[in-house]
Copies of this chain bind each other. A is one copy, B any other.
Amino acid sequence: MRELLEAVADGSLSPAQAEAELRGYVTGEAGRFDAARDQRRGIPEAIFAAGKSAEQVVALAETALETTDRALLTRVSESQFDALETHLGERAPDATIDRRGTSVRVTTPHHEPPSLDATVGIVTGGTVDEPVADEAAVVCLDAGATVDRVDDIGVAALSRTLDQLDRLREADVLIVAAGREGALPTVVAGLVDTPVIGVPVSSGYGHGGDGEAALDGMLQSCTVLSVVNIDAGFVAGGQATLIARAIDAARD
């Protein structure tokens, strides 16, 4: 601890980094950031932007960058992204911004990207499922996994699904996002021997709309399948990452 405090004293460590090191989390204006989560959990705390002001989003991203050299953000609106980009342009011009759908990942040059020897297959039934799949992809890529995206193979035209069977079987773990009746994860999980994580997507209208029918169907699936909440691409990506990491560790 002496060392740490000396590093703060001579400026080679910011007070926030020291707090993160000592307590595991940092207390900023926009709340406490769980800087140690990546070490403890294997996946970093992401900043859920929906419902936060642009100022809060920027402040949390800054804290994340300062203490862990990277920031993961989900459900980022246009105006939140603009505020973030402007801010980083001024305060961290050497940061790299990777934006996919509504998900954003920022890294500083100090960040050492990890690498996992494992592939996560990310599958969608149709166009509307893509932002959810993007959210999952960002988490997996951040952790260094290989991501194989297989889009638009919903069961209404079953040959689209079956044509991709070989690729689906090559992944170490599969995330399958589908809305409406959500049958795709069930059909896929009946044909492969890898773990499948179903993600219901909030498409559809009328009774069972907003993803509820898809969630119900995945929970009731007659195949083996685990599920995350509606649109919870981040959680699916996190769970796939934990599995990929366990496989990577075993491969070493």
Q: Which residues of A contact B (CB under 8 A)?
A: 23-25, 27, 30-32, 34, 36-37, 40-43, 45, 50-52, 56, 125-128, 151-160, 163, 172-173, 180-183, 186-187, 189-195, 197, 200, 202-209, 211-232, 235-236, 238-239, 242-243, 245-248, 250-251
**Cβ contacts under 8 Å, A221 to chain B:** 180-181, 235
Cβ-defined contact, B206 with A127, below 8 A:
no
The smallest C-beta distance from A209 to any residue of chain B, in angstroms, reads: 7
**With contact pairs A56-B127, A187-B187, A231-B206 given, residues A242 and B157 touching in the complex (Cβ less than 8 Å):** no
Contacts of A34 in B (CB 8 A): 156-157, 160
Residue of B nearest to A75 (CB): B205
Given A195-B243, A217-B213, A226-B197, A183 and B205 contact (CB-CB distance below 8 Å): no
Bound-state CA distance A243–B216 (Å) is 23
A207 neighbours in B (Cβ, 8 Å): 211-212, 215-216, 219-220, 229-230
- Nearest chain-B residue to A197 (Cβ)? B226
Residues of B within 8 A of A219 (CB): 206-208, 213, 215, 227-229, 232
Given contacts A230-B206, A242-B195, contact A220 B180 (CB under 8 A): yes
In the complex, A126 Cα to B25 Cα: how many Å? 13
Residues of B close to A190: CB separation below 8 A: 40-41, 155-158
- Pairwise interchain contact A208-B226, C-beta atoms closer than 8 A: no
Distance A45 CA – B191 CA, assembled complex (angstroms) = 13
How far is A45 from B127 in the complex, measured between Cα atoms in Å?
Answer: 14
The CA of A40 and the CA of B168, in the complex, are separated in Å by 13
Q: Are A202 and B206 in contact (CB under 8 A)?
A: yes
Complex alpha-carbon distance, A191 and B37, angstroms: 9
* Residues of B with C-beta under 8 A to A224: 41, 43, 235, 238-239, 242
CB-defined contacts of A128 to chain B, threshold 8 Å: 51-52
